[in-house]
Amino acid sequence: MSQKVRIAFVVSVIAAIAVSLGIQGWRQSQVVVSNESPVEGRIHIYYHGSFVANLNPADLPDLEPGSFKDLEENKTQEGPWLKDIVTLYIDRTIKDSELVTVRGLRSTTAEEKEIILTWAQVADGNNYVICDVAGSGDSIKLVSTLPELDTRDEFVQGIIRIDIDEP
């Protein structure tokens, strides 16, 4: 084995160790939030009245995004599909008739808002029921092309809770 090959091998091993340690340090720095009970500042997900999960809005960009241009301002609304967020935490089959209630709290006015959709509406990709992540990454709003959710006045901003229940 030549000197160059030995040096390349040693450098490769050192680089692999450095990457491994970096990943381990990053994982340890992540705050683990329990899903045993609701935690302030998270989006709470409930299924048939039982608490299921605390969702951190910063985790949403990892999901496949959907997008559309709203008719009101011709602005692109983009973010993960609500159906994908729900199915991350609920591993049961959700019936088309089940109701999905999304509650939000607008931070600037403290105005609460909610919308109730059927799972069939949420799951239909033609409705573009998506969660647009705020530029700061700390809150999301529910937007859609559905008539009851297609204008800025109807968007549910600052989502704080998602409930899935029987009709």
In a domain, 159, yes or no: yes
User: To the nearest whole percent, how much of the chain has pLDDT over 90?
Assistant: 54
In a domain, 91, yes or no: yes
In a domain, 136, yes or no: yes
Q: How many domains does the chain have?
A: 2
Domain that holds residue 7: 1-30
Region 113-136 average pLDDT: 93
Per-residue pLDDT at 8 exceeds 90: no
In a domain, 35, yes or no: no
Query: pLDDT band at 80, cuts 50/70/90?
Result: very high
Q: What is the pLDDT of residues 131-147, one digit of tens each?
A: 998 766 678 999 999 99
Same domain, 81 and 152: yes
Q: Taking all residues of the chain, what is their mean pLDDT, rounded to a whole number?
A: 85
Same domain, 56 and 126: yes
Same domain, 84 and 12: no
- The answer to which of 68-77, 95-104, 156-165 has the lowest mean pLDDT is 68-77
Same domain, 100 and 138: yes
Q: What is the pLDDT of residues 20-66, one digit of tens each?
A: 665 665 544 444 455 677 888 889 999 999 999 998 877 766 788 99
CB 134 within 8 A of CB 143: no
Region 148-155 average pLDDT: 91
Same domain, 86 and 147: yes
Same domain, 93 and 56: yes
Reported pTM: 0.75
Same domain, 20 and 52: no
Region 137-161 average pLDDT: 91
Q: What is the pLDDT of residue 32?
A: 47
Q: Classify 149 as helix, strand or coil.
A: helix
Same domain, 9 and 65: no
In a domain, 132, yes or no: yes
Among candidates 60, 40, 164, 41, which has minimal Cα distance to 102?
164
Same domain, 60 and 110: yes
Q: What is the pLDDT of residue 20?
A: 64
Same domain, 13 and 54: no
CB 145 within 8 A of CB 127: yes
In a domain, 37, yes or no: no
Q: What is the pLDDT of residue 21?
A: 63
Tokens read off for 11? 């450098």
Among candidates 167, 164, 139, which has minimal Cα distance to 156?
139
CATH code at position 147: 3.90.420.10
